[in-house]
Amino acid sequence: MKVIIIDDEISVRNSITELLKESYPEIRIIASVSSVSEGFSAMHREHPDLLFLDVELPDGLGFELLKKIDPIDFKVIFITGHQEYALNAIKVSALDYILKPFDSDEFCRAMDKACQVIDHEEEQLKILALHENMQNKKVLRRIILPTADNLHVVSISEIIRARADSNYTVFVLSRGGQIMVSRTIKEFDSLLSGSGMIRVHQSHLVNVRYIDKFVKRDGGYLHLKDGSDIPVSQNLKKQVIQAIKDSLYE
Query: What would the CATH number be for the domain defined by 2-135?
Result: 3.40.50.2300
Q: Percentage of the chain surpassing pLDDT 70?
A: 93
> For 48, which DSSP code?
-
Distance CA 11, CA 200 (A): 44
Distance CA 241, CA 87 (A): 29
Q: Residue 121 pLDDT more than 80? A: no
Torsion 18-20-25-31 (CA) sign: negative
Condensed to tens digits (0 to 9), the pLDDT of residues 69-90 reads 877 888 899 998 865 667 878 8
Q: Residue 247 pLDDT more than 70? A: yes
Distance CA 172, CA 247 (A): 20
| HSE of 184, CA atoms in CB hemisphere, 13 A | 6
Mean pLDDT of the chain: 88
Q: Read off the pLDDT band of 43 (50, 70, 90).
A: very high
Question: Domain locations in the chain?
Answer: 2-135, 142-247
Best CATH choice for the domain 142-247 from the list 2.30.110.10, 3.40.800.10, 2.40.50.1020, 3.90.1150.10? 2.40.50.1020
Q: How far is CA 4 from CA 18, 25, 29, 72, 165, in A?
A: 14, 15, 6, 14, 40
**208, 207, 199, 210: which is closest to 233 by C-alpha?**
199
* CB 169, CB 180: distance < 8 Å: yes
